[in-house]
Amino acid sequence: MTGKINPNDIVGAHEIAERLNLSFPNVVHNWRKRYPDFPKPIRELSSGLLWDWIEIEAWAHSTGRR
């Protein structure tokens, strides 16, 4: 991750699932455990993990999930 992140690009598992048309947000956590190249969260809060959508979208494209 480099530079500033647009606030609209900060996403949790629920937003990732919505944007990638996944049935359940839990799929995101499964990918995180299963694929070492899955983007690292940019922040961990007590309410959950946050990612940079740009990184997630690039990963999804490169792995044929988008």
Which residue ranges make up each domain of the chain?
7-62
**Residues of the chain scoring pLDDT < 70:** 1-2
Say what the pLDDT of residue 3 is. 73
| pLDDT score recorded for residue 21 | 97
pLDDT at site 9: 97
- DSSP strands (E only) in 10-65: 10-11, 43-45, 48-52
Query: For 7-62, CATH number?
Result: 1.10.1660.10
SS3 51: strand
Under a CB-based contact definition with an 8 Å cutoff, are residues 52 and 10 in contact?
yes
